[in-house]
Structure 1
Amino acid sequence: MIWSEYLGVFLYCLSQVSAEWNTKDFMKREHSLIKPYYGSGIEIPFWHFTGSTIVTPNYIRLTSDLQSKVGAIWNSVPVNVRNWELQVHFKVHGKGKDLFGDGFAIWYAKDRMKEGPVFGNNDFFHGLAIILDTYSNHNGPHNHQHPYISAMVNNGTLHYDHDRDGTHTQLAGCEAKFRNLDYDTHIAIRYEKDVLTVSTDIENKAAWKECFQVKGVRLPTGYYLGVSATTGDLSDNHDIMSVRLFELDMPDDPQADEDRSNIVPSATFFEPPRDHVEDPKPSSLSGFKVFILMLVGSIAVVACVVLGIMFYQKHHENKRKRFY
């Protein structure tokens, strides 16, 4: 009995050692960003940052809570694994209570370090974008509140309509109140057997909650990971604490040996497009001109009332004279 117990312990320890050396069960260091961020000197190993990005000991700030800022951080090593999960620890916060923006995006894209209008990255991109949109002052009909998380797959031909949250090209989306929270907030992007699943941990429960899942998403290997953010007239701090990529061990994947390096990003499912309604054009009148018009209108109304009273009194007086 004693020898059988020793044998069981030995086999258990051997299994743990084997699991430890199975690199597919662990984070891919070359695609991950964790503290301490700096390597030798001031560079971050495997990562490059652009724009207004600031690296601190505790977080990487893509934009400060200031207007017209653009920042990004990009992995310098292409991702050549087929099935993966990306976990991002982030924080979005700022002074604004009713108006704030714009948000940030997590990228798996062909081109890196390309500044543009889509949350700091270029439009008509190739790849996948997970967009965390906080801008809450849209006029168009969107049928959702903000902040809002959505996914977009692009083959280089689609335009992201920022004014309408990209609702005409998104795969799916969900509302997520992740802004100005006092605890940690996380998002997980899982790509497994052509199924894209986005989950969040924003309720301080240390558990993932599914945001949405989309099947039939085909992404090539060899693209780059990145995170970008932007502010306009409205602003926020967009902070990244960590990025972790895990390769998923899928021994039963029937397409594990398929060469995906040259396929075109695509998706078999898109949400039905919503009616494209033009936003009301803002008035070209200044506040002073509006005040003058209101004042003139008020005077005109008072004058009409006074003239009406005078006319009524005159008419009544003439009527009395005819009786005498």
Structure 2
Amino acid sequence: MFFLKKHFMASTAVALLSATSVIQQVQAMDSVHLRTHSISQPYIDQDLQNRWFDFGGDSIVNTNKHIRLTQDEPSQFGWLWSRLPLSAPNYQIEFEFSVGGKGTGLYGDGFAVWLTKERGEVGPVFGNRDKFEGLGIFFDTYANSRQSHSFPYVMAMLGDGKTSYDNDHDGLGNRIGSCESDFRGRNIPTKGRLTYDSDERTVNLKLQVKEWDQWDDCFTLYDIKLPSAYLGFTAHTGEVHDSHDIISVSSTYTIKTDAEKNAKRNNYDNNNYKNNTPPPSKKSGFSWLFKLITASGIFAGIVVVAYKTSKKKNDMKRF
């Protein structure tokens, strides 16, 4: 009897580990790394190129540190663009960047993150073309006109391919989401985390600029449908200048369960959610419950098999 209990406890422990492993494997399937839209050191291969990204203009690749879009010099522009469009319906892009220079009073102009139908077209909007189609997020460090907010400043614009960026007023007429953020010259790694959910039609930007692993909401956009878009980073300087560096980009494709895909969407008007006010919460625990039931069923099956095996061995031992 002692042998049966001991063997049963050992089998139970193995079953628990197996069930835990099942849950971890299911959770691991919730997202897939997108190598085609990720880049990190050393950035280039033996042919001095990158398989998935192009860079140009005044950009300089330091294989040990960063991709410097502009140096701390006047009249520069640089860019980094994915070679393939990002067509996943739900994704998250985490990027580490650094902005700084010798200037203590006047500096600029800033850099931008792009998800647009076009790529690699130099222009006046933080080094990219005007009248773009898609999403532009501007990390602006220089005020062209008097504003009610302080700088540095982060703002989003949804381009329709026809509307120009309101450069004279720092994009005030184009702004659909924004926040003040002191991201320049920080002593910790500064990062952005951009999340797009096509089912919920939302775009969220979080920033890490104060402390390590402290993410602050910058803005959430509602009723947004992004096109299959190229991922880009551009920067420019004028009479005022800064270094604008991209250190790493990591993109993941978020896989949703059938329950989440078929969940009823909220039919709301974007005008009712001005000033970044979120819509009613729609979180559901069904996905986790499904995983728990699945793991529990596997666990129960393993325990039964272990018990029968132990009983059979014990009966044979008696004879």
Q: TM-score, normalised by structure 2?
A: 0.76
The whole-number CA distance in structure 2 between the counterparts of 1:255 and 1:217 is 18
Which residue in 2 is equivalent to 1:231? 237
Q: Which moved more, 1:188-197 or 1:169-178?
A: 188-197
Q: CA deviation at 1:80?
A: 1.2
Which of 171, 176, 180 is the aligned partner of 2:181?
A: 176
The whole-number CA distance in structure 1 between the counterparts of 2:83 and 2:136 is 18
The whole-number CA distance in structure 2 between the counterparts of 1:255 and 1:194 is 13
Which residue in 2 is equivalent to 1:8? 16
Structure 1 gap ranges (5+): 257-266, 273-324
Give the secondary-structure state (helix, strand or coil) at the position aligned to 2:186: coil
The whole-number CA distance in structure 1 between the counterparts of 2:78 and 2:263 is 37
Q: CA deviation at 1:47?
A: 0.4
Q: Determine which structure has the larger helix proportion and give its number.
A: 2
The whole-number CA distance in structure 2 between the counterparts of 1:139 and 1:113 is 28
Confirm whether residue 117 of structure 1 aligns to residue 124 of structure 2: yes
8 Å Cα contact 2:145-2:170 kept in structure 1: no
Q: Which segments of structure 1 move beyond 2 Å, counting only runs of 4 or more?
A: 10-20, 253-256, 267-272
Give the secondary-structure state (helix, strand or coil) at the position aligned to 1:67: coil
Which residue in 2 is equivalent to 1:301? none
Q: How many residues align?
A: 257
8 Å Cα contact 2:71-2:242 kept in structure 1: yes
8 Å Cα contact 1:105-1:130 kept in structure 2: yes
Q: Which amino acid aligns with 1:7?
A: A
Give CA-to-partner distance per residue, 1:197-230, whole Å, 9 cap, x none: 111000023121101112111112x210000000
Confirm whether residue 165 of structure 1 aligns to residue 170 of structure 2: yes
Confirm whether residue 209 of structure 1 aligns to residue 225 of structure 2: no
8 Å Cα contact 2:189-2:212 kept in structure 1: no
Structure 2 gap ranges (5+): 1-8, 276-319
Confirm whether residue 72 of structure 1 aligns to residue 79 of structure 2: yes
Q: CA deviation at 1:109?
A: 0.5
Q: CA deviation at 1:2?
A: 2.1
| Pair 44,255 (structure 1): closer, same or farther in 2 beyond 3 Å | farther
Q: Percent identity?
A: 32
| Pair 55,190 (structure 1): closer, same or farther in 2 beyond 3 Å | same
Confirm whether residue 152 of structure 1 aligns to residue 157 of structure 2: yes
Give the secondary-structure state (helix, strand or coil) at the position aligned to 1:217: coil
Which residue in 1 is equivalent to 2:313? none
Give CA-to-partner distance per residue, 1:256-301, whole Å, 9 cap, x none: 9xxxxxxxxxx945969xxxxxxxxxxxxxxxxxxxxxxxxxxxxx
Which of 31, 48, 56 is the aligned partner of 1:50?
A: 56
Which residue in 1 is equivalent to 2:37? 31
Q: CA deviation at 1:175?
A: 0.4
Which of 76, 89, 93 is the aligned partner of 1:86?
A: 93
Q: CA deviation at 1:14?
A: 4.1
The whole-number CA distance in structure 1 between the counterparts of 2:21 and 2:205 is 35
| Pair 12,139 (structure 1): closer, same or farther in 2 beyond 3 Å | closer
Give CA-to-partner distance per residue, 1:113-138, whole Å, 9 cap, x none: 000000000000000001100014x3
Q: CA deviation at 1:164?
A: 1.0
| Pair 117,80 (structure 1): closer, same or farther in 2 beyond 3 Å | same
Report which of the two structures shows the higher radius of gyration computed on alpha carbons. Answer: 1
Confirm whether residue 135 of structure 1 aligns to residue 156 of structure 2: no
8 Å Cα contact 1:152-1:169 kept in structure 2: yes
The whole-number CA distance in structure 1 between the counterparts of 2:44 and 2:102 is 29
8 Å Cα contact 2:188-2:212 kept in structure 1: no
RMSD (CA atoms): 2.0
- After TM superposition, list the pairs within 5 Å mapping 1:221-300 onto structure 2: 222-251=228-257, 252-254=260-262, 268-269=270-271
Which of 203, 207, 224 is the aligned partner of 1:200?
A: 207
Give the secondary-structure state (helix, strand or coil) at the position aligned to 1:10: helix
Q: Which amino acid aligns with 2:45?
A: G
The whole-number CA distance in structure 1 between the counterparts of 2:56 and 2:66 is 15
Give the secondary-structure state (helix, strand or coil) at the position aligned to 1:139: coil
Q: CA deviation at 1:191?
A: 1.1
Q: Which moved more, 1:24-33 or 1:48-57?
A: 24-33
